[in-house]
A and B are shown apart, each in its own frame.
Chain A
Amino acid sequence: MRRAAAWIVALSCGLAAGASAKVPPEESYQLHCSGCHGPDGAGRADFVPSLRGLAVLLESPGGRAYLARVPGVAQAPLESAALAELLNWVLRELSDGREFAPYAAHELEAWRRDPLRDPAAARSALGRGP
């Protein structure tokens, strides 16, 4: 009986996790970000923006929406839950431990439907950067 219960728990966990295997955020980073921003997130001077120290952007008004609406984030071929995990991983790993409030999937849902039309202008409008 106990074994049957364990099986039921295990099965329902499997269903909750979805059919596909769980992809760790560092692997999502390699697949969706590293091609242009590089394996270390440093980007490429005057060509690809750096992802290092981005957590500071969340401290300015509009920064949180900005980061969710940049084309690379908003249009990533990922469900919002996996996208939130990836974005939080980038902010955690590449911002030298700076505190930030992690993104939730439902936050991204709304913002990514409205990607930025002029990301560079939006970035200068924020008035600060890493």
Chain B
Amino acid sequence: MSRMDAQFEGWGRLLARRTGRRSFLARVGALLAGSAALPLLPVARASADSSRVPAPSESIPGPEGDPTRCEYWRHCAIDGFLCACCGGSATTCPPGTEMAPVTWIGTCRNPADGRDYIISYNDCCGKGFCGRCGCNRNEGDRPEYHWVRSNDINWCAGAKSQAYHCSVAIVVGQATEAQPER
């Protein structure tokens, strides 16, 4: 009997060591809920207007081209957790969170073509801190007295819940020049 116990314990420990239940559950859950909820998210509407939105090259080598890195070019003024590391993506909220209707809007330069793009940093709200991929790049960020361009305030204002979870960075257009405050 104890040999059987030991055997099962061994398998259990092996499984726990190799897989990680949390990440597996999180991935399966995110996949199930995410694929069902994707068309309902407000970002579907944002991306539907393709006339104004250019298609910046995504084939940038290195961290500047990786949406799960702080160095990703669209994250030039981000302050918070990257939704791409929290079950969402650089443009979509994780399942169970709501995209805040008011946002911080600024510009970032895309190193692939050297042009500036208008970026909307929407917060995803309704769950506690995601805690993964915390970034604090503040290019173009202004002090709180200039709140329209301040990333230190909680942009979950206007959402049903003010609990901040993570941030996305959506390209909403091409900019003629970098934002005037930079």
Contacts and interface: CB of A to CB of B under 8 A. Distances in A.
Interface of A: 20-24, 27, 30-32, 34-36, 38-39, 44, 47-48, 72, 77-78
A12 to B, nearest CB: 22
Interface string B152-182: 0000011000000000000011011101110
User: Nearest 3 A-B pairs (CB), nearest first?
Assistant: A35-B105, A36-B102, A23-B176
Contacts of B146: 77
Contact of A31 (B46, B102, B157, B175): B175
14 contacts: A23-B175, A23-B177, A27-B118, A30-B173, A31-B179, A34-B172, A35-B103, A35-B104, A35-B105, A36-B148, A38-B101, A39-B172, A77-B181, A78-B180
A48 B179 CA distance: 23
A21 B148 CA distance: 23
Contact of A27 (B101, B104, B176): B176
Indicate the member of A31, A44, A47, A78 with the most B CB atoms within 10 Å: A31
A24 B52 CA distance: 13
Contacts, number: 54
A31 B107 CA distance: 8
- Which size bracket describes the interface of B in this complex? 20 to 34
B180 A30 contact: no
Contact of B175 (A27, A35, A77): A27
A36 B102 CA distance: 5
Nearest to B155: A35
B152 to A, nearest CB: 15
B105 to A, nearest CB: 4
A78 B179 CA distance: 10
A34 B180 CA distance: 16
Contacts of A35: 102-105, 120, 148
A38 B176 CA distance: 20
Contacts of B175: 23, 27, 31
Nearest to B104: A35
Interface in B116-131: 118, 120
B158 A20 contact: no
B135 to A, nearest CB: 20
B62 to A, nearest CB: 28
A35 B148 CA distance: 8
